[in-house]
Amino acid sequence: MKLNINNTFSEELPSDPVLENSRRQVRNACFSYVTPKKTSNPSILHVSEEMRCELGLTKEDTVSKDFLEIMTGNKVMEGTKPYAMHYGGHQFGNWAGQLGDGRAINLTEVVHNSKRWAVQLKGAGETPYSRNADGLAVLRSSIREYLCSEAMYHLGVPTTRALSLAITGDHVLRDILYNGNAAYEKGAVVSRVAPSFIRFGSFEVLSAHGDHKTLKLLTDYTIKHFYPEIESTGKEAYVLFLKRVSERSLKMVIDWQRVGFVHGVMNTDNMSILGATIDYGPYGWLEVYDHGWTPNTTDSQFKRYRYGTQPEIVLWNLYQLANALFPLVEEVDPLENVLDEYQNSYKNEYLHMMTSKIGLFSKQSEDSILIKVLEELLQSIETDMTIFFRKLGKYKKGSFDQGVQIISDAFYESNDLKGDILKRWNDWFIMYDERLNIEILGDEERKDKMNIINPKYVLRNYMAQLAIDDADKGDYKLIDELYQMLKKPYSEQPEYEKWFAKRPDWARDKVGCSMLSCSS
Ligand SMILES: Nc1ncnc2c1ncn2[C@@H]1O[C@H](COP(=O)(O)OP(=O)(O)OP(=O)(O)O)[C@@H](O)[C@H]1O
Ligand SMILES: [Mg+2]
């Protein structure tokens, strides 16, 4: 197996001088060297073809013994020195101090086709940052991370990627609902890939420790490799850096809102500095359109990370990043201006995204009302988000009296559609139809454009759970079926029509489908 190894993070940034794998507080360093844990009887369950090609690996490579051993922790690739990254974070609104890669281990960076990739194992064993946990990951959460990160890539949402999914042959103890019912589960490792795994928390931890020297090194490194378009130097560069991170993070969260993805645990240690979705833990997909929904039972009391607040939370997290960068800028105003800009751009971008979802591509002053009324209606009775927007593409100008009929599959209880609600829906279609008259696109063209904005297939929570249930019994076919289908989320794919359906009733309140915890 030949990878074009080219390490920059570990070559250019300070490492923790302690080499033993003991839990500790790390200072003046961006990472600690650590070797992945050996696994007892590993086997690869799936490999992402697209990611394999991105890294310059052949099919033969991915079925080799080397690949199996390297991607499950049993062998360290020649010429590499794996390491865990040092970071901190704000968790659920509070500063949590040092966190770091407690179970993720970076193997190496690779350059292929002029693109830089860091390859990391998640669930690869204890590190200096493991605190009181075991450094491992279970099959259920690894299937969810593997499938969803690749699905998000194909949806066009900025994200970390996955290369392989493996079981380790070891057993891992977990208490899924934190209610005293711990049980052994199959251990697993996902090899995941991103240009870099640096997080907001990587900057925060250095700033919190007053280590401005390493903070500056890390910021300069990040700009040099990942924001090369920033040509200025000094304070100006750091302000621009915050601005670019804020723009990328805004794009990411607008995409989340567009496809109905709820991250579930948007702590600052789970915010990539590249504006990519990272940490597929207790995430979920909106089935019933509901701004108040979060899949994460650990957050059920305050619902801090519910669907509707995700863009505000990104802003809150950017504030923490701005605070962390403050020692490099020493002026509040320019940093605050960047955050103010986020707020303005967010309003515009959100409206633009929502209007494009309903096939409006010109701007009109009344559009915000049309969208607001629609959002209220979508929440007035249980309405499936994916089905609603996809079906709306079939609407034909002038047929407002058939509007409700066209989207009626999206309603979970069509009996609820009566009286005032039905009237309000009909009124909305009249408004919508009038507004469509200002658009230049015809029905077919509008539908085609809407169909590359509104996915037909997403990884509904119960679908991942079905794949997990099968995998627990040793049947991995559904993992591949979902993986193949989710490669083309915007295409019709009649062979997969059965997955274009509302959540089945059995999944309504089932653990793993509508209730997920951080236990993984
Ligand atoms: N089983 C575990 N063993 C050791 N550390 C863990 C374990 N699970 C989580 N952690 C650590 O707890 C912190 C918060 O966990 P969180 O659930 O956000 O991350 P994660 O799912 O492990 O990984 P990532 O953010 O890398 O995708 C992180 O520092 C993480 O490394
Ligand atoms: Mg995390």
pLDDT (tens digit per residue) in 304-320: 999 999 999 999 999 99
Minimum-distance ligand to the CA of 277? 1
Structure tokens at 367: 């559009």
Distance CA 381, CA 256 (A): 22
Computed over its alpha carbons, how large is the radius of gyration of the chain? 23
What length does the chain have? 520
Q: What are phi and psi of 199, to 5 degrees?
A: -120, 165
For ligand 1, atom 5, name the residue with the nearest CA.
102
* C-beta of residue 128 within 8 angstroms of C-beta of residue 16: yes
For ligand 1, atom 6, name the residue with the nearest CA.
102
- At position 185, the amino acid (one-letter code) is E
Decide whether any atom of ligand 1 lies within 6 Å of the 160 Cβ. Answer: no
Tell how far the Cα of 322 is from the centroid of ligand 2, in angstroms.
20
Letter string b/e over residues 314-337, b meaning 16 or more CB atoms within 10 A of that residue's CB: bbebbbbbbbbbeebbeeeebbee
For the CA of 280, the nearest atom of ligand 1: 27
For the CA of 197, the nearest atom of ligand 1: 26
Identify which of 150, 126, 128 has the alpha carbon closest to the alpha carbon of residue 136: 126
Tell how far the Cα of 280 is from the centroid of ligand 1, in angstroms.
11
For ligand 1, atom 2, name the residue with the nearest CA.
135
Q: At what angle do helices 234-259 and 332-357 cross, to 10 degrees?
A: 20
Decide whether any atom of ligand 1 lies within 6 Å of the 481 Cβ. Answer: no
Catalytic amino acids?
269
Q: What are phi and psi of 429, to 5 degrees?
A: -65, -30
Decide whether any atom of ligand 1 lies within 6 Å of the 145 Cβ. Answer: no
For the CA of 120, the nearest atom of ligand 1: 26
Residues with CB under 5 A from ligand 2 (ion): 270, 279
Given the structure tokens 């013994």, which residue do they identify?
65
Question: 284: helix, coil or strand?
Answer: strand
**Ligand 1 mutation pick, 24, 34, 103, max ligand atoms within 8 A of CB:** 103
For the CA of 100, the nearest atom of ligand 1: 29
Decide whether any atom of ligand 1 lies within 6 Å of the 128 Cβ. Answer: no
Distance CA 148, CA 283 (A): 9
Distance CA 190, CA 278 (A): 13
Decide whether any atom of ligand 1 lies within 6 Å of the 133 Cβ. Answer: yes
The 10s digit of each residue's pLDDT in 450-496 is 999 999 999 999 999 999 999 999 999 999 999 999 999 999 999 99
Structure tokens at 56: 């310059």
Decide whether any atom of ligand 1 lies within 6 Å of the 135 Cβ. Answer: yes
Distance CA 322, CA 328 (A): 10
Tell how far the Cα of 173 is from the centroid of ligand 2, in angstroms.
19
Question: 161: helix, coil or strand?
Answer: strand
Local confidence pLDDT in tens for the 520 residues of the chain: 899 999 999 999 999 999 999 999 999 999 999 999 999 999 999 999 999 999 999 999 999 999 999 999 999 999 999 999 999 999 999 999 999 999 999 999 999 999 999 999 999 999 999 999 999 999 999 999 999 999 999 999 999 999 999 999 999 999 988 889 999 999 999 999 999 999 999 999 999 999 999 999 999 999 999 999 999 999 999 999 999 999 999 999 999 999 999 999 999 999 999 999 999 999 999 999 999 999 998 898 899 999 999 999 999 999 999 999 999 999 999 999 999 999 999 999 999 999 999 999 999 999 999 999 999 999 999 999 999 999 999 999 999 999 999 999 999 998 889 999 999 999 999 999 999 999 999 999 999 999 999 999 999 999 999 999 999 999 999 999 999 999 999 999 999 999 999 999 999 888 888 888 888 9
- At position 327, the amino acid (one-letter code) is P
Structure tokens at 138: 């279970």
* C-beta of residue 326 within 8 angstroms of C-beta of residue 400: no
Decide whether any atom of ligand 1 lies within 6 Å of the 84 Cβ. Answer: no
Distance CA 82, CA 102 (A): 14
* Domain chopping of the chain, boundaries: 9-200, 210-356, 367-450, 461-507
**Ligand 1 mutation pick, 279, 283, 299, 516, max ligand atoms within 8 A of CB:** 279
Distance CA 95, CA 325 (A): 16
